[in-house]
Structure 1
Amino acid sequence: MEPSFDIRGNLQPYEIIKIDQLHFKQLFVDAFDAESTRVHLYSNYQHYLAELRKVLNYEFYQLIDGSFTTVKRDPNDIDIVSFIDYRDYEALNSVVMDRFSSAKARAVYQVDAYIVSHYPEIHPKYVIYHSDLLYWRNLFGKTRVLRNKKQYQKGIIQLNFVNNG
Structure 2
Amino acid sequence: MKTHPRRMLTINEAGYLEPNTAIPSDLTEMEKTFVIEYSSVERSALFEMYQQYIEDLKQLCGDTPLRQWINGSFITKRKPRPSDIDMVTFIDSHTVQKLGEKLRPFVYPQSKSNYPGIDAYIVEVYPEDSNKFMLFKSDTAYWHNQFDTTRRNRQGQKEPKGFLEIIH
* TM-score (norm. length: structure 2): 0.89
Is 1:75 paired with 2:75? no
Q: Aligned residue for 2:41?
A: 36
SS class of match (1:54): helix
CA distance in 2 between partners of 1:30 and 1:92 (Å) = 35
Report if aligned partners of 1:36, 1:73 keep a CA contact under 8 Å in 2.
Answer: no
Report if aligned partners of 1:119, 1:126 keep a CA contact under 8 Å in 2.
Answer: yes
**Gaps spanning 5+ residues in structure 1: where?**
none
Question: What do residues 46-101 of structure 1 show as CA deviations (whole Å, max 9, x unaligned)?
Answer: 1111110111131120000000001111000100100001111111122x222001
Q: Aligned residue for 2:61?
A: 56
* Structure 1 moving runs of 4+ over 6 Å: none
CA distance in 1 between partners of 2:8 and 2:28 (Å) = 14
CA distance in 1 between partners of 2:166 and 2:109 (Å) = 22
CA distance in 1 between partners of 2:81 and 2:154 (Å) = 22
Report if aligned partners of 1:28, 1:69 keep a CA contact under 8 Å in 2.
Answer: yes
CA distance in 1 between partners of 2:13 and 2:26 (Å) = 25
Is 1:111 paired with 2:128? no
SS class of match (1:102): coil
Is 1:154 paired with 2:135? no
Report if aligned partners of 2:58, 2:66 keep a CA contact under 8 Å in 1.
Answer: no
Q: Aligned residue for 1:139?
A: 146
CA distance in 1 between partners of 2:150 and 2:52 (Å) = 28
Q: Aligned residue for 2:132?
A: 125
CA distance in 1 between partners of 2:128 and 2:65 (Å) = 16
CA distance in 1 between partners of 2:134 and 2:94 (Å) = 16
SS class of match (2:88): strand
Give the number of equivalent residue pairs. Answer: 159
* TM-score (norm. length: structure 1): 0.91
Tell me by how many angstroms 1:122 deviates.
2.5
SS class of match (2:138): helix
